[in-house]
Amino acid sequence: MKSLQNRVICIVGASSGIGRATAVACAQAGMRVVIAARRLDRLEELAAELTSQGGEALAVQCDIADESATEALLEQCIARFGAVDAVLANAGYGHEGSIVDLSDEALRRIFEVNFFGTVRVTRAAVEAFRKRGQGHLLITSSCLSRFTLPYFAAYSATKAAQTHLARALRLELESEGIDVSVIHPITTRTEFFDTASDVAGMQRRGIPKHSPKLFVQTPERVAKAIVKCLRRPTSEVWTSHITRLVAGAMVAFPSFHDFCCRRELAHRNAGDPPGETTPRIEAIGENPAS
Ligand SMILES: NC(=O)c1ccc[n+]([C@@H]2O[C@H](COP(=O)([O-])OP(=O)(O)OC[C@H]3O[C@@H](n4cnc5c(N)ncnc54)[C@H](OP(=O)(O)O)[C@@H]3O)[C@@H](O)[C@H]2O)c1
């Protein structure tokens, strides 16, 4: 078990949801935290909250679609705290809609943030870790990296790409003292679903009604699992054992995957008015909340 006291973590995508909850949990565990995202006001508010509770925090505005901003982030982290022990590549967004209707621009945008953004954060982190001969990279992927849902093909593809990246890197870097972990949250109560709905031009707020309640968790639950993984690095972190088993069965038996997804699709179509189920998506822009 590693002590986290005074260790430094850089969390990319910390202005809300899982990243924010992880920053709070890491600070409570004694870590010094660098919190990054595009919404600086949110980050500064969080940094002030953590500082008022006796923690140390640095807020940095960073868009992971911008390579130079990602490199500068790690430099700022080291300039402030002298080192970086762990990096959580957590920034990302989802969207709902058929890939058939998705413009190339929108598809490139989601890969730009979810996958290439993760690659940029990974390169900057590994460069910093190599200088010290140690470090821990964590990547927030999703249970949807192992199976998909109808109308989530583009998002699931970005998450599968992240998971493959992490699995390969884990082996490439282990002899250098660098750990790589991938996190597979299930449906989590965050702004994720509002953003996914906004970028698809849908009106829906919050978690879709048809999502099974059994598979919904809080961001604090994911944060707790991430802190556990920081203490004792493991290759894959699942926050639901049932989902892990179901995902394994779905990979082994594609007809089981289709059976489960057909049920999900039937609930979805029954709950959503016609026309909202397959919105035509022309472009995905910035997070409308920013
Ligand atoms: N919620 C779920 O059900 C669920 C399930 C499985 C996996 N996940 C994954 O968990 C991660 C966190 O999502 P969440 O659920 O916590 O959603 P969230 O509350 O919407 O948080 C997303 C975070 O990513 C940041 N972000 C988005 N685009 C960015 C960019 N271009 N540059 C820098 N930061 C960016 C956002 O900050 P700004 O807008 O301020 O930039 C925000 O801090 C995502 O990778 C998501 O795919 C979520």
Q: What is the CATH number of the domain that holds 135?
A: 3.40.50.720
Give residue 159's pLDDT.
98
CB of 233 within 6 A of ligand 1: the answer is no
Is residue 248 within 8 A of residue 254, CB to CB? The reply is no
pTM for the whole structure: 0.92
CB of 92 within 6 A of ligand 1: the answer is yes
Q: What distance in Å separates the CA atoms of residue 141 and residue 124, rounded to the nearest whole number?
A: 18
Domain annotation covers residue 114: yes
CB of 181 within 6 A of ligand 1: the answer is no
Among candidate residues 152, 155, 193, 238, the one labeled active-site is: 155
Q: Which residues of the chain have pLDDT under 70?
A: 272-290
Would you call 93 a catalytic residue per the annotation? no
Give residue 49's pLDDT.
98
Q: What distance in Å separates the CA atoms of residue 132 and residue 47, rounded to the nearest whole number?
A: 27
Give residue 263's pLDDT.
82
**Which residue carries 């249970």 as its tokens?**
143
Domain annotation covers residue 225: yes
Give residue 287's pLDDT.
35
Domain annotation covers residue 287: no
Give residue 203's pLDDT.
77
Domain annotation covers residue 227: yes
Give residue 269's pLDDT.
79
Domain annotation covers residue 282: no
CB of 197 within 6 A of ligand 1: the answer is no
Domain span including residue 20: 8-271
Domain annotation covers residue 281: no
Cα-based angle 72, 30, 87 (whole degrees, multiple of 5): 30
Give residue 198's pLDDT.
86
- Number of structural domains the chain divides into: 1
Domain annotation covers residue 286: no
Name the phi and psi angles at 93, rounded to 5: -150, 165
Ligand 1 centroid, distance to 175 Cα (angstroms): 31
Q: For residue 151, which of 93, 204, 98 has the smallest C-alpha distance?
A: 98
Q: What distance in Å separates the CA atoms of residue 48 and residue 267, rounded to the nearest whole number?
A: 43
Q: What distance in Å separates the CA atoms of residue 213 and residue 182, rounded to the nearest whole number?
A: 24
Q: Alpha carbon 230 to chain centroid distance?
A: 16
Q: What distance in Å separates the CA atoms of residue 128 and residue 111, rounded to the nearest whole number?
A: 24
> Each residue of 77-112: pLDDT tens digit?
999 999 999 999 999 999 888 899 999 999 999 999
Furthest C-alpha separation in the chain: 56
Among 122, 155, 190, say which to mutate for ligand 1: greatest number of ligand atoms within 8 Å of CB. 190
Nearest ligand 1 atom to the CA of 159 is 47
Among 11, 41, 90, say which to mutate for ligand 1: greatest number of ligand atoms within 8 Å of CB. 90
Domain annotation covers residue 3: no
Is residue 35 within 8 A of residue 266, CB to CB? The reply is no
CB of 18 within 6 A of ligand 1: the answer is yes
Three-state SS across 244-273?
HHHHHHHHHCHHHHHHHHHHHHHHHHHHCC
Give residue 282's pLDDT.
31
Q: Alpha carbon 290 to chain centroid distance?
A: 17
Give residue 197's pLDDT.
85
Q: H or E segment at 236? A: strand 236-238
